[in-house]
Structure 1
Amino acid sequence: MDKNRVCPDCGGALRHDSSSGEIMCTKCGVIIEKDVFDYGQEWREFNWDQAMNRRRSGTPTSFTKSDKGMTTEIGKTSDIYSLSSDQRKQYFIMRKWQRRISTPIERNIKFALTELRRIAAQLNLPQILTEEAARIYRIAAENGLVRGRSMESVVAGSTYIACKKYKIPRTLKEIADVFPLDVKEVGKTYRFVCRQLGIKILPPDPLDYVYRFANELELPAKVQTRAVGIIEGAQKMEITSGKGPTGIAAAALYIASLIEDEKRTQREVADVAGVTEVTIRNRYKELLKKLDLEDKLVNLGLEIDINDDKVTEEE
C-alpha cells in the first residue's frame, strides 16, 4: 500500500490490516478497500543466481499499460528476417489480427495512456501518481464517461484528481497548458468524473503550494516559514474560505518576502503562481488588513502602495 494515500473522508492516515486484507482509516475507521491481495514476493534473493532460480513471475502489472502489462505484444523486430517467407507471412498476419481484435474502449485507453505518460513526463509526476491517473481514466472509459468528451480533457481531469489525492501541487492551468486545453473545459470534466465515480476530494490547501512557489522564486527557508505562519493564521480566521489556494499562497509569500527583506515583485510572484497581479493585490490587501500586518511592514521602514507593484524604503 502506498504510504502517501490518505482517507478521502477525513484526510487521516491509512493502515493495511494484513490479517483481514483491509485498508482502513486510522482516524475515522472507514474501510477504504477490502480483500486486498499482497503482490509482494515471499522469497529473498541476495545474488543474481538466486534471483534467476527463485523468481517465478514477470514484470508487475501496471495501469499505465493498456493491457496492464499482461499481454504478449507481437511487435517489430529485425529477427523476423531470419525466418522463412511463410513464417514471416504468418508473423505479419498475427500482428495485424492482434491490432484488429481490440475493442474500441481498448484502443481508446491505449491512445489515452500514451498521452498520460507524455504529460506525466512533462510535469515531472511520480510513477505512483501516474498509475492512479491511469486507473481513474480506465474506470471512466469503462463506464462510458469519455463518450461525448475529448479524450484529452478526461486524461487531464484524471491527472488532476490524482494530483489532489496525493497532494502534489499542480494547478488546473498547468495541466491544461500541456495539451493545450481550455482550463474551464478541464475543470468541468474533472468535476463530472468526480461526481460520476463518487470520488471525494478534499479542498486544496494553500500550504501545499508554498514550498514549490518559494523554490521557484529562490526564496530562503525563513521566508517559507513566515509564509506558512501567515497562511495558518488566515485559515484560523477562515479568511481562505472560498478563495483560490494558489492566490493565497502567492500573496502570503509576497508578504513574507517583504517582512524578511527578500523582496520579490508582484509580477514575479504572479508568474510563478499562474495567477494575475490583480489576484495577488486583492489577497495581499485582505491578508494585511485582517491579520494586522500593515503596522509590521511600516515599522520595518517599508512604504507600500497596495495599488502598485512597487515597494520602497522610507527615507
Structure 2
Amino acid sequence: MASYRGRLNEVCCPQHPDAHLIEDYRAGDQICSECGLVVGDRVIDVGSEWRTFSNEKANSDPSRVGGAENPLLNGSDLSTIIGPGAGGVGFDAFGGSRYQNRRSMSSSDRALINAFREIANMADKINLPKAIVDRANVLFKQVHDGKNLKGRSNDAIASASLYIACRQEGVPRTFKEICAVSKISKKEIGRCFKLILKALETQVDLITTGDFMSRFCSNLGLPASVQKGATHIARKAVDLDIVPGRSPISVAAAAIYMASQASEDKKSQKEIGDIAGVADVTIRQSYKLMYPRARELFPDDFKFFTPVDQLPQL
C-alpha cells in the first residue's frame, strides 16, 4: 500500500502498481499487463496525425499537418483555407469555384513573417543562437504593433532589432558585422537603433573592450596568453584615460596589436582591422596614444618575445 500511495498521482493498476501498462491506441485505453484491468480510457494519442509513406513520396513527409504555432503572429498563425471541392458540390453552374479564399494571410502577418525570416537569415550567417533570434523577433513585433517607426523599411528595423538583441543578450556585435549580413547601410541601422530604444523606452548596456576581445583573438588564432595580455592592456588604457574618445572596438584592436607584437604570434594592423572591422589608420591612432605608456599597460606576468622598447613606433 505504501508504494501505491506514493503513486497516487500516476496512472497505475490498484492491484499491481508496478505492472507495465499496455496502450491500446485504437480504443484509447491503458490496460494492466498482469490482470487486464482497464486503468485509463479515452487517452489522447500524441503521435503523428498521419502515417509516413516515405517510400511512396520522396519529396514530402505527411507525418505532420500544418506549420508550427507562432505566438508572435495574430491568431498564432492558425487560419482556415478552403480546399478544392470534390465533385460538383464545390462548383457553380459556370464551372467556377463556389468557395474562394479571399485572403489566406493578413498583410500584417506577411510583413512579420518576412521580417522573422530576414532576422533568421542574418543570424545564421554570423552564427547567432536561437535565444538572440527570439529576442530580436519580439523587438520587431513590438515596434511593428506600435507603429513607432513609420517610413522606415522593415529590413532596417529587423537589422537594428538584431543588433539590440545581441547587446541585451551580452554578446554584442558591431554595426559593421550586422551591416555585412544585411542589405541596409550602417547609417540607417544606427538611426533605427536609436529610434527603437526611444520608442520602446528600453536601454542596452554600454559596450566595453572585453565584449569583443575573446572573439577577435579567437578569429585571429591568437593564444590565450596574448588574449589575456590584450585584455589587460585595453582595460588599463581605459582606466588611465589614455585613449579618451576612442571607441571600445578601436581600443581593443590596438591592444591586440600591441600584445601580438610583443609576443611570438605577431599580427599586422590589416589582419586585425579585417577581423575587428576598423580601418588601419584607426588602429594606428589608438596605438600611438598607448605606446608611450606601454610599460605600465602590460601585465606583470606577460611573457615578452619582443621587449617593450623594440615595439613598432608608428
Pair 1:304 & 2:307 matched: no
Aligned AA (1:98): S
- The structural deviation recorded for 1:196 is 1.6
Which structure has the larger Rg over C-alpha atoms?
A: 2
Pair 1:143 & 2:146 matched: yes
Pair 1:201 & 2:204 matched: yes
- The structural deviation recorded for 1:150 is 1.2
- The structural deviation recorded for 1:248 is 1.2
- The structural deviation recorded for 1:290 is 4.1
Contact 1:66 1:113 (8 Å CA) reproduced: no
- The structural deviation recorded for 1:242 is 3.4
The 5 Å alignment of 1:28-43 reads none
Match for residue 157 of structure 1? 160
- The structural deviation recorded for 1:293 is 5.5
- Give the whole-Å Cα distance in 2 for the aligned partners of 1:129 and 1:91: 46
Structure 2 CA distance for partners of 1:157 and 1:304, relative to 1, 3 Å: same
- Give the whole-Å Cα distance in 2 for the aligned partners of 1:239 and 1:75: 65
The 5 Å alignment of 1:110-189 reads 110-189=113-192
Provide the TM-score with structure 1 as the length reference: 0.67
How many residue pairs are counted as aligned between the two chains?
248
Contact 2:167 2:204 (8 Å CA) reproduced: yes
Contact 1:270 1:277 (8 Å CA) reproduced: yes
Pair 1:98 & 2:104 matched: yes
Structure 2 CA distance for partners of 1:105 and 1:250, relative to 1, 3 Å: same
Secondary structure of the structure 1 residue equivalent to 2:203: coil
Contact 1:233 1:291 (8 Å CA) reproduced: no
Give the alignment's Cα RMSD to 1 decimal. Answer: 3.5
Larger fraction in helix:
1
Q: Deviations over 1:219-256 (max 9, x none)?
A: 01111111111122123224455322211111111111
Contact 2:136 2:164 (8 Å CA) reproduced: yes
- Give the whole-Å Cα distance in 2 for the aligned partners of 1:162 and 1:303: 39
Structure 2 CA distance for partners of 1:230 and 1:61, relative to 1, 3 Å: farther
Structure 2 CA distance for partners of 1:83 and 1:123, relative to 1, 3 Å: farther
Pair 1:222 & 2:228 matched: no
Provide the TM-score with structure 2 as the length reference: 0.68
Contact 1:231 1:252 (8 Å CA) reproduced: yes
Contact 1:288 1:294 (8 Å CA) reproduced: no
Structure 2 CA distance for partners of 1:121 and 1:83, relative to 1, 3 Å: farther
Unpaired runs of 5+ residues, structure 2, are 1-9, 11-22, 24-29, 31-42, 48-65, 299-303
Unpaired runs of 5+ residues, structure 1, are 1-42, 44-48, 307-315
